[in-house]
Structure 1
Amino acid sequence: MSNLSALNQLPQYYHLEQKDHMDKPMDVEVSGEVPKWVNGSLYRNGSGLYKVGNTAWNHIFDGFAVLQRWTISEGKVTYQSSILDSEFYKKTAKHRKIVGEGFGSSFPDPCETLFGRLFNRFIPKSSDNTNVNIVEFGDRLFALTEMPTLNEINPDTLTVKQKSAISDYVVVHLGTAHPHVLKDGTAIFYGTNMVHNKAYNFIAIPPQTDFSKAPLAGAKVVATVPSRWKMHISYTHSFGITENYFVHLEQPLTMSIARAMLYKPLGMNGAEVIVPHEGESLDIMLINRSTGQRLPVTYRAPEGVVFHFVNCYEESNHVVCDVCFTPKGAKSIQRIYFNLMLEDAKAGIHYKPNYTRFVLPLSLDGAEEGKNLVTLPNTTATATLEKGGKNVIHVTPEFFEENMYADFPAINYRYNGVKHRYCYTSTTLSTQQTKLSKFDVVKKTVKTYEVTNNFSPSEPVFIARPGATREDDGKW
């Protein structure tokens, strides 16, 4: 099945074309009423353009970035959708067909010299197609992906103002598109180094008050943790943070160092660097934010993968870690090519992230084999000492609505890193469920909101009401 043929069988939101680019916002017809206190602009980012001319990407991670902006003022709404003017996209637009390398496939450059082809066969380029997330840092907007490149975005025109690379400041080869911004304005990024003893890095970037300076000025690594494998580095999409700890998941889904070095000469694509380890555990690490040292305990969870954290917090000498967890889902990343997604849908194979809670006891005092170390009330999550071990704790999760697809979580961000009660999720990538959901993890209830036919839910966003004192006092 050709890329275009597979793409044409997917829902309408995969069919954006170059002509759909908008230079200016348009008025939006509003159904219902927008509260008068909601004013401002909401920016979103994601893979959106998959076909150019007669060429099409076949992997869901590869679409060209499309920025969206909703501006709300006095109950009125305008909307703008713009293809990001990255260097990668501009080159493709010039040739009227996709040119260059994505995560799951690549297209030859007709203008590349023989030397250039040989060079690029051994030295991969860092893409500036920042198509995963858009974040506010100070008064500046940045589009991010998992490459170390960041594009600063003009908030009015949705065009690139300048390009930066976190790898110019610290030694990392990949990054995360889901940083945390602390109350004092410091941004905490995560970066992967493809050297196993420097694998997992947490990077602090101080708030920028001088806009003449580079946006990443002052970036420094505040914690580094080695990989448990010598020739593999865990794939990391996001991470957690509490008052005192960084929370890192070492997943049974890794980047092979050998493949990363050889995939281009061997004619492989970037996705083939990612290797699932079926039957192996997901290990949870806690890293002290003050000392940069890892807590000398491994919390060993069942096999599975996580793309998105909900929130983490400390309570009564435990760390509570809420995530969207897909049990035994390591192979799922190999199946998000469009043709394989269609095959799986026809065969009834679905990978479902669940809203999941792990509870990690901070003290092992009095630990006995077989004894549950979790003493928090109102949870079925467990933690027990490994037989014959001293610093390995086996943890089993608590699932909320186990059969429900729940991903792309959002909370009231004022509660980031502290105890929360509510979470909002969507079924953005599910073709079987089209819902938005609100979880109450105290009452353990969930409200779902069906999305009408021909529409797909986006990632939810919570907007707190001005002066609100209740966590869920607002709109989403």
Structure 2
Amino acid sequence: MSDDYAHCIWLRDCKQETIEEIQGQVKGTIPEWLEGRVTRNGPGKLQVGDTQYNHLFDALAMLHQFNISRGEVTYRSRFLESDTYLRNMKANRIVVTEFGTAGYPDPCITLYQKFKNFFSIPSPDKSMSDNCLVSVCQVKDEMFALTENAFIRKFDPKTLKTLDKVLLTNYVAVNLATAHPHIGNGGNIYNMGSSITNISGPCYNVIEMPMGKIENAKVVATVPCLRRMSPSYFHSFGISENYWVLIEQPLVFRVSKIVRGTVLSNKPPSNALEWLPGEKTHFRVISRATGKLIPTRYTADSFVAFHHINMFEENGQLIMDLCGTEDGESLNMFYVNNLKKLPNDSTRVLFNTNMRRYILPLDGVIQASVGHNFIKRTDTSCTAVKQSDGSVHCTTQILYPEFFEVPRINYKRNGKSYRYAYGASTKGNDLIFERIVKVDVKTGQASVFTENEFTIAEPIFVAAPGAVEEDDGVILSTLLNKANPLYVALLVLNAKDMKELARVEFHTKGAVTPTFHGQYVAVGEIFHTY
């Protein structure tokens, strides 16, 4: 990518990895108890030969790792050498279709082969990209790169060397799965996936992997799509002690377009994605005990959510916090042509996702009269009103009105009542993460860390040993220098006051690219969470 687009850090393109660890320069003091690895994943290469990806979600995946030991830190980076990566690099052009980019056809293919391919059923193992660029998940001593289809890629957690490929469809009935699993007690992993090839029609499946073992994966709940041939796009899901919640939003994949376009006409999956303005968003609440939908139907005015923050039960109500926006075109923000536009360009697509709360009543819904508002709390503006068709329509409370994304919490509070959420924010509704924000969900107060010369990454909370208070620990993030693509730093903040404890600076030979999500794994841990 040309230096002409230096104004947008997302457009960086790495041409040289840092495969061997390099030592960082520590400024400040790293807590003695902080011993482990931060592994992050994100877009590393937007251009292959003379071909360029159209969307940020298409770029070839790159892994980054900070190894913290005895007050010192090393850094390394490495491309995820997926089959997709190897095929593209061998051909020196994009040959595998991604979310927003169709693979360039082989110029040597014959007319007969085109005809034959048109009438053949594509194999997911050959036609689906395994470019897993969204997140990572370590299970005991194995680590995996995750994306939003049915592939995950195993890699060495110490060297970042790419290892085996796993197709979830070989174990459970899913065609797509989220890159945001939940880790339960004892290391069980839960995820949500879509099945568009189900014999009864498209549906959503909750997957359980006991002790994180993929070979033992099973479907523990199945929910039919409300829009039968238009399953919803979703990026994450909610979990509490007794429930899972899928937000079925009016951002949908048209199955007919997938068949006509993606399968038959070499169009990318984004071609099948459609926003249905004005249609309601539905909360599909599933009992973890039975695997069945609970009888009550919950709706809200149309919105889109990519990331759940936390969800918990309290006094017969389900309280759900998430990052949401009414802008159904928000994925268009990450098209490369939009990212290239200068900040003062009025045609530049932006969106403002904020931190919000919905409250869903669990008790007494059937007996209640039409028009009854179940929310009697004085500490919220949320409402949940029974409708004439028996459903409950919910309105939101904005917990933090400014841009708030890639949220994290103290994961020990996941599915439980909590107080603090941490997220990335921007200045002036821009496309660049420049602030780390801590929000007190009880008081609404926010604390902010920012520096003008740098961009930041998703904040990761790490609890201090023996911590009693929820925010007793540190925040780990990454700093990239806006003007110097060869600079990267690990940032360590005190989670209580958001003050800097340390930063560890590195200078690399190749451009350091930004990341989406990551995971901290402490030395000596048996089960690893987020």
TM-score by length of 2: 0.82
User: 2:203 maps to what in 1?
Assistant: 199
Alpha-carbon distance between aligned partners in 1 of 2:433 and 2:41, rounded to the nearest angstrom: 22
Alignment of 1:43 onto 2:11: no
**Aligned residue runs from structure 1 range 114-263, under 5 A:** 114=110, 117-118=114-115, 123=122, 125-194=127-196, 195=198, 197-207=201-211, 215-263=213-261
AA at the equivalent of 2:351? Y
RCO higher in structure (CA 8 A, sep ≥6):
2
User: 1:277 maps to what in 2?
Assistant: 276
Is the alpha carbon distance of 1:197 and 1:155 closer, same or farther for their aligned partners in structure 2, counting shifts above 3 Å?
A: same
Shift of 1:427: 3.0
Unaligned 5+ runs, structure 2: 476-530
Shift of 1:437: 0.2
Asked whether the 8 Å contact 2:11–2:336 carries over to 1, the reply is no
> 427-436 or 458-467: which moved more?
427-436
Alignment of 1:15 onto 2:30: no
SS at match of 1:238: coil
Unaligned 5+ runs, structure 1: 209-214
Alpha-carbon distance between aligned partners in 1 of 2:201 and 2:7, rounded to the nearest angstrom: 42
User: 1:356 maps to what in 2?
Assistant: 356
Is the alpha carbon distance of 1:389 and 1:224 closer, same or farther for their aligned partners in structure 2, counting shifts above 3 Å?
A: same
- Residue-pair matches, total: 461
Query: Percent sequence identity over matched residues?
Result: 32
Is the alpha carbon distance of 1:86 and 1:266 closer, same or farther for their aligned partners in structure 2, counting shifts above 3 Å?
A: closer
User: 1:62 maps to what in 2?
Assistant: 58
Alpha-carbon distance between aligned partners in 1 of 2:117 and 2:420, rounded to the nearest angstrom: 47
Alpha-carbon distance between aligned partners in 1 of 2:267 and 2:4, rounded to the nearest angstrom: 22
> 230-239 or 112-121: which moved more?
112-121
User: 2:389 maps to what in 1?
Assistant: 389
Asked whether the 8 Å contact 2:56–2:334 carries over to 1, the reply is yes
Shift of 1:22: 1.6
Shift of 1:86: 0.7
Asked whether the 8 Å contact 1:427–1:457 carries over to 2, the reply is no
TM-score by length of 1: 0.91
Asked whether the 8 Å contact 1:7–1:338 carries over to 2, the reply is no
In the TM superposition, what whole-angstrom CA distance separates every residue of 1:201-233 from its partner, at most 9, and x where no partner exists? Answer: 00111115xxxxxx4111110000011112210
Alpha-carbon distance between aligned partners in 1 of 2:108 and 2:204, rounded to the nearest angstrom: 35
Shift of 1:334: 3.5
> 317-326 or 103-112: which moved more?
103-112
AA at the equivalent of 1:449? F
In the TM superposition, what whole-angstrom CA distance separates every residue of 1:168-227 from its partner, at most 9, and x where no partner exists? Answer: 01111111111111011111111101147451100111115xxxxxx4111110000011
**Aligned residue runs from structure 1 range 282-431, under 5 A:** 282-327=281-326, 329-342=327-340, 346-347=345-346, 349-363=349-363, 364=365, 366-386=367-387, 388-390=388-390, 392-402=391-401, 404-427=402-425, 430-431=430-431
Asked whether the 8 Å contact 1:68–1:82 carries over to 2, the reply is yes
**Aligned residue runs from structure 1 range 443-462, under 5 A:** 443-453=443-453, 455-462=454-461
SS at match of 2:358: strand
In the TM superposition, what whole-angstrom CA distance separates every residue of 1:284-312 from its partner, at most 9, and x where no partner exists? Answer: 11100110110111211111100100011
Alpha-carbon distance between aligned partners in 1 of 2:245 and 2:108, rounded to the nearest angstrom: 43
Alpha-carbon distance between aligned partners in 2 of 1:420 and 1:359, rounded to the nearest angstrom: 15
In the TM superposition, what whole-angstrom CA distance separates every residue of 1:318-337 from its partner, at most 9, and x where no partner exists? Answer: 0011100012x212223431
Is the alpha carbon distance of 1:398 and 1:15 closer, same or farther for their aligned partners in structure 2, counting shifts above 3 Å?
A: same
Shift of 1:271: 0.5
Asked whether the 8 Å contact 2:52–2:94 carries over to 1, the reply is yes
Shift of 1:341: 4.2
Asked whether the 8 Å contact 2:251–2:275 carries over to 1, the reply is yes
User: 2:27 maps to what in 1?
Assistant: 31
> 296-305 or 420-429: which moved more?
420-429
RMSD of aligned Cα (Å): 2.2
AA at the equivalent of 1:472? D
